[in-house]
Structure 1
């Protein structure tokens, strides 16, 4: 009788151990899958935001260079305004997904973009001069995004 109880107890303990280890492994796999999915979403958002900022900078330079009253200038200004609306929406997504440091870096990019937009609209200054500041801020943004995504880039040759 005792041997039968020990056998049943062994089977129960074995089944429970198997269930717990399988559950733990499944939870860990699920967490890794979620982390990967969120990292992919972050990367996409980070790239879209930076691409949109660069598009605005290019359009601002083109609008600035186009003659006043020309169709080209109006088209560049219109495209620039649409791109700014897109950048604003992307920034909202970025703030939901990004680390605080990456959000701060993107926040530092925004006023530089706005200066470029105003420079193109009013022609009070050349957006190409503001572009140097934008490049610095974007470089910091890229650096913070890589840290957030745990991407290390070794630029040394092997």
Structure 2
């Protein structure tokens, strides 16, 4: 009788151990899957935001250089406004997904970009210095890489 109880206890302990180890492995696999999924979303958002910033900046620069009152200028300004709306939506997605440092870097990019858009709308001769936006975008890229766990680029100091 005692041997049967010991055998039954051994089977129960084995079943419980098997269940717990399987549950822990499944939980870990689920966490890894979710982390990968969110990292993919973050990467796509970072890339889309950076692309849209370049699109807004390019349209603003071309609009600022176009002759006042021309159809080309009106079209470029409309293109700039449309791209700015997309950038605004992408920034909201970025705020939801990104690390605080990356959000702060993107906000600095936004401020510089808004200055360029204002210069384009007013057709000011003195634009935002192109290097400023480039430097801010480099900081944004570094923060995005850090958030995604990607080593910083070796060509940067």
Q: Same fold (TM over 0.5)?
A: yes
Matches within 5 A, 1:25-36: 25-36=25-36
User: Is the Cα–Cα contact under 8 Å of residues 64 and 126 in structure 1 kept in the other structure?
Assistant: no
Task: Give the alignment of 1:79-98 within 5 angstroms.
Answer: 79-98=79-98
Look up the match of 2:144.
Answer: 145
Q: Which runs of 5+ in 2 are unaligned?
A: none
Cα shift at 1:153: 4.2
TM, length-normalised to structure 1: 0.94
The CA deviation at 1:130 is 2.6
Q: Residue 49 of structure 1 aligns to a residue in which SS?
A: helix
Aligned-residue CA RMSD in angstroms? Answer: 1.2
Distance 1:12 1:103 in 2: 52
Q: For each residue in 1:85-127, what CA deviation from the matched residue of structure 2 results, as whole angstroms up to 9, or x when unmatched? A: 1111111110111111011111111110000101111122343
The ranges of structure 1 where at least 4 consecutive aligned residues each deviate by more than 3 angstroms after the TM superposition are none
- Between the two proteins, the alignment pairs up a number of residues equal to 155
Alignment partners' CA distance in 2, 1:31 and 1:155: 31
C-alpha contact (below 8 Å) 2:119/2:126 kept by paired residues: yes
Give the distance between the partners of 2:125 and 2:11, measured in 1 at CA. Answer: 80
Distance 2:104 2:30 in 1: 30
Unaligned runs of 5+ in 1: none
Q: Superposition pairs for residues 1-158 of structure 1, below 5 Å?
A: 1-127=1-127, 129-155=128-154
Q: Is the 8 A contact 2:77 2:121 kept in 1?
A: yes
CA offset digits 1:22-47 (Å, max 9, x no partner): 00000000000000000000000011
Assess if the C-alpha contact under 8 Å between 2:142 and 2:152 holds in 1. Answer: no
Residues of 2 paired with 1:28 and 1:149: CA distance?
Answer: 19
CA shift in 2, pair 1:90/1:154, >3 Å? closer
